[in-house]
Amino acid sequence: MFSTPYFPLISALATPEPHGDRDIAERFLKAVIDGELVAAGTIASRWAQDPGTGDAAACVVQRHADLQLMSRVEVRAEDTYRRSQKMIRTSMALRVASCRNAGWQALFRNRLGSALACFSRLAEESDVAPERGAEARFAMVCVLQELGKTAQVAGALADLREHIESLDGATQAWWRELYDTLAFDLAVQAEIRSASTLQDHVFWQSSLGDGVTRADSLPQLSCDDLLAAASRVKSPLLRIRIEALKTQRAAANGDRTAFPKMLEHLNWARDEKLPDYLRTVRLEAALAALAGAAPQLAESVLDPLISQCSPQPFTGQRQIEYLYCFSKTRQHQGRVQEAWQLYSRYTLVAMQCLRDNSHLHRPLVERVAKVSSQLDDVGARLTGKYRRAYHFVLENLNRRDLSVREVAAEIGVTERALQNAFRSLLGLSPRELIRRERMERIRAELMNGAAQGDGSVLRAASRWGVENRSTLVHSYRKQFHEAPSETLERCA
């Protein structure tokens, strides 16, 4: 995916620097900034072999897991994330790490709804570190772009910029470079997809799914203005991405000399062992070549995907891009019947993606209250058996007599096993989870105008299994930092 080269730098900036081992930390950060990702992975691997103990050590192991995930060693990455979470000592830190790690894993596995839910929860959490908030907002922009929701990306990008301006310390300059690179990245992609030669790319041209791709809509500056900001970026890793985007833009404008530079970037992605990004860049280069009326160049850059992969080597948006580019090159070759079959498949997949993603819309980006079962970050963090326990909790939240013992019996485990699994994977005990989910549903009713006046508040609480007034006020204030009555006044 296009966000892959940003991920290691985001990981390095958002993860607290461990105490001690300053020399290793500096060498790791330098390797990432310089775009030497294989070297960074080696440093992270050795560092994680003897990281120490406690939360600081967990951060070291998490960095190692991030580099494994980036290289698509997914099974090892999942095991390493679990190892890092077991080292965390505080429940709040564990909840944040669990949600964050699940979000990135979901994004790399193209489970975009789960990824968006995880990062949205982190962005809304008032107690997370500011750098984690920046990471969550950056990731939300990437997820929305993967979903093709260009109109929503603009709002999420503006939110990211505002958050970065609130950061303190030396890392703010790096976050500004990340923002400037990302803004230019998105504008170039929008500009290319708006080319007249790609007018039959219906997924992007359609207003369904917010696929509006006018080049000046995201963000509200021209590519040239954004290029001026991106030209001041110093990080070699980000410069590599910026130069690749400039090359794509030149190719889309008909510059045939840009193709060798595209190949250089492909070679860099191959040498740094970024298989997923390598395939994504091939699709980006093919689209740029098609936009520049050079289908033969698109064919040559797609050829390794066509010859080495199965007929459907991608999922989601990238499958859409693949089928579209493949059909266009077959059309250029005069293989009309095959081109038509590929384009028909493209339209079916495009409509399927639009339909599947139709529920992922503005409330997440605009911070409108939501019921957590609609888009669930908690379920994304649990394994199959304990996910069943979680769903049982959701289905029975309205029952005052719901107990941890009953939940454990439902899936055939002991209470202790259930407690340990929930604390390890969620950073919450089952009882804390039940209380939190109930408070969220009560809050949703208050914010949606379903309750008016103190008596109605108590009735709303009763509908979700909370009968005691003091329990309601104490739990609600602890979770949302205000009383239920204050929520009502604010939303009146």
Average pLDDT over residues 435-461: 76
Tens digits of residue pLDDT in 220-244: 567 888 888 999 999 999 999 999 9
**pLDDT attached to residue 251:** 93
Kindly tell me if the per-residue pLDDT of 451 is higher than 60: no
Do 318 and 1 meet the contact criterion of CB atoms below 8 Å apart? yes
Kindly tell me if the per-residue pLDDT of 211 is higher than 50: no
Kindly tell me if the per-residue pLDDT of 308 is higher than 70: no
Predicted TM-score (pTM) of this structure: 0.76
Q: How confident is the model at residue 374 (pLDDT cuts 50, 70, 90)?
A: very low
**Least confident interval from 48-52, 313-317, 471-475:** 313-317
Average pLDDT over residues 207-231: 61
Residues 172, 294: Cα–Cα separation, whole Å: 41
Main-chain dihedrals φ then ψ at residue 222, nearest 5 degrees = -75, 165
**pLDDT attached to residue 364:** 43
Q: Which residue has the higher pLDDT, 425 or 183?
A: 183
Kindly tell me if the per-residue pLDDT of 463 is higher than 90: no
Tens digits of residue pLDDT in 252-289: 999 988 888 889 999 999 999 898 899 899 999 999 99
Average pLDDT over residues 299-310: 75
Share of the chain above pLDDT 70, in %: 87
**pLDDT attached to residue 209:** 39
Identify the CA nearest to 90 among candidates 80, 100, 102, 98. Answer: 98
Average pLDDT over residues 76-88: 90
Main-chain dihedrals φ then ψ at residue 246, nearest 5 degrees = -60, -40
Owner of token pair 């990062």:
119
Q: Which CATH class is domain 382-491?
A: mainly alpha
Q: What's the mean pLDDT when you consider all of the chain?
A: 83
Q: How confident is the model at residue 18 (pLDDT cuts 50, 70, 90)?
A: low
User: 3-state SS of the chain?
Assistant: CCCHHHHHHHHHHHCCCCCCCHHHHHHHHHHHHCCCHHHHHHHHHHHHHCCCCHHHHHHHHHHHHHHHHHCCCHHHHHHHHHHHHHCCCCHHHHHHHHHHHHHHHHHHCCCHHHHHHHHHHHHHCCCCCHHHHHHHHHHHHHHHHHHCCHHHHHHHHHHHHHHHHCCCCCHHHHHHHHHHHHHHHHHHHHHHHCCHHHCCCHHHHCCHHHCCCCHHHCCCCCHHHHHHHHCCCCCHHHHHHHHHHHHHHHHHCCCHHHHHHHHHHHHHHHHCCCHHHHHHHHHHHHHHHHHCCCHHHHHHHHHHHHHHCCCCCCCHHHHHHHHHHHHHHHHHCCCHHHHHHHHHHHHHHHHHHHHHCCCCCCHHHHCCCCCCCCCCHHHHHCCHHHHHHHHHHHHCCCCCCCCHHHHHHHHCCCHHHHHHHHHHHHCCCHHHHHHHHHHHHHHHHHHCCCCCHHHHHHHHHHHCCCCCHHHHHHHHHHHHCCCHHHHHHHHC
Task: Please report the sign of the dihedral spanned by the C-alpha atoms of residue 22, residue 26, residue 28, residue 32.
Answer: positive
Most confidently predicted of 119-123, 167-171, 216-220:
119-123
**pLDDT attached to residue 359:** 57
Tens digits of residue pLDDT in 325-359: 999 999 998 999 999 999 999 988 888 777 766 65
Tokens encoding 490: 């604010």
**pLDDT attached to residue 215:** 41
Residues 191, 288: Cα–Cα separation, whole Å: 10
Do 129 and 16 meet the contact criterion of CB atoms below 8 Å apart? yes
Kindly tell me if the per-residue pLDDT of 452 is higher than 60: no
Chain centroid offset of residue 399 CA? 34
Kindly tell me if the per-residue pLDDT of 164 is higher than 70: yes
Tens digits of residue pLDDT in 386-402: 888 888 888 888 888 88
The segment(s) of the chain belonging to CATH 1.10.10.60 are 382-491
Tens digits of residue pLDDT in 411-426: 888 888 898 888 888 8
**pLDDT attached to residue 365:** 41
Do 16 and 58 meet the contact criterion of CB atoms below 8 Å apart? no
Kindly tell me if the per-residue pLDDT of 59 is higher than 80: yes
Q: Which residue has the higher pLDDT, 452 or 421?
A: 421
Residues 114, 262: Cα–Cα separation, whole Å: 33
Per-residue CA distances from 431 to 301, 405, 406 (Å): 54, 10, 12
Average pLDDT over residues 109-116: 85
